[in-house]
Amino acid sequence: MNKLLIALLLAAGAGAAIVALRSKDPTYVPPQEQVQETIPSALASQPGAGEVVREFDVEGMCCGGCAPKIYAAIRKAPGVREAAVVLGRATVIARSEVDVAELEKAMTFDDYVAHAKR
C-alpha cells in the first residue's frame, strides 16, 4: 500500500513539473504599484496677462480620493493653465475668455457639483 501511494505521488509531481515547464506565460503577475500624483492645494503662480483666477465650491467631495478626480477633470478643461484642489474647493487659473459655466461643467460629474464663487 505504501509503495502504491509513493508511486501516485511521484506521478502527480512529475505531471505537475511537466505542465510547469511547458507553460510559456507566468501564471502569477504581481500587482503594479500606482504612483499617486500630488494634487496641489494652493496655486503656485499668479495669473498672467489675459488670465484670471476662478474659485469654485465643489459639492460631493468627501475624502482624499475625490481631489484627484476633480483635479484631473479641471486640468483637461480648455483654457486652464493651473489648478489647486482641496476638500470642497477648487481654484483655477484660466484664460479670461473661458466661460465660468464651462469650468463648472468640467467639474460636475458623478456625485460632484461645482459652483463658481461670485
Please indicate, yes or no, if residue 64 is contained in any of the structural domains: yes
Please indicate, yes or no, if residue 75 is contained in any of the structural domains: yes
Q: How far is CA 114 from CA 26, 55, 69, 93, in A?
A: 46, 10, 13, 16
Please indicate, yes or no, if residue 22 is contained in any of the structural domains: no
Find the domain containing 68 and state its range.
51-116
Please indicate, yes or no, if residue 96 is contained in any of the structural domains: yes
Hey, how many other C-beta atoms are within 10 angstroms of the C-beta on 19? 9
The number of angstroms, rounded, from the C-alpha of 107 to the middle of its chain's C-alpha atoms is 15
> Residue 68 sits in a domain of what CATH number?
3.30.70.100
Hey, how many other C-beta atoms are within 10 angstroms of the C-beta on 14? 10
Grade residue 104 by pLDDT with cuts at 50, 70 and 90: very high
Instruction: Enter the pTM of the model.
Output: 0.68
Residues 38-95 pLDDT 10s: 899 999 999 999 999 999 999 999 988 899 999 999 999 999 999 999 999 999 999 9
- In the chain, which residue ranges form alpha helices assigned H by DSSP? 2-22, 66-75, 100-106
Strand pairing partners for 112? Answer: 109
Please indicate, yes or no, if residue 76 is contained in any of the structural domains: yes
Helix (H, G, I), strand (E, B) or coil at 86: strand
The number of angstroms, rounded, from the C-alpha of 70 to the middle of its chain's C-alpha atoms is 10
> Is 43 buried (19+), middle (13-18) or exposed (0-12) by CB count in 10 A?
middle
Question: Is the pLDDT at 4 greater than 90, yes or no?
Answer: no
Please indicate, yes or no, if residue 106 is contained in any of the structural domains: yes
Domain count, the chain: 1
What pLDDT score was predicted for residue 116?
96
Q: Is 110 left (phi over 0), alpha (psi -120 to 50) or beta?
A: left
Please indicate, yes or no, if residue 78 is contained in any of the structural domains: yes
Please indicate, yes or no, if residue 101 is contained in any of the structural domains: yes
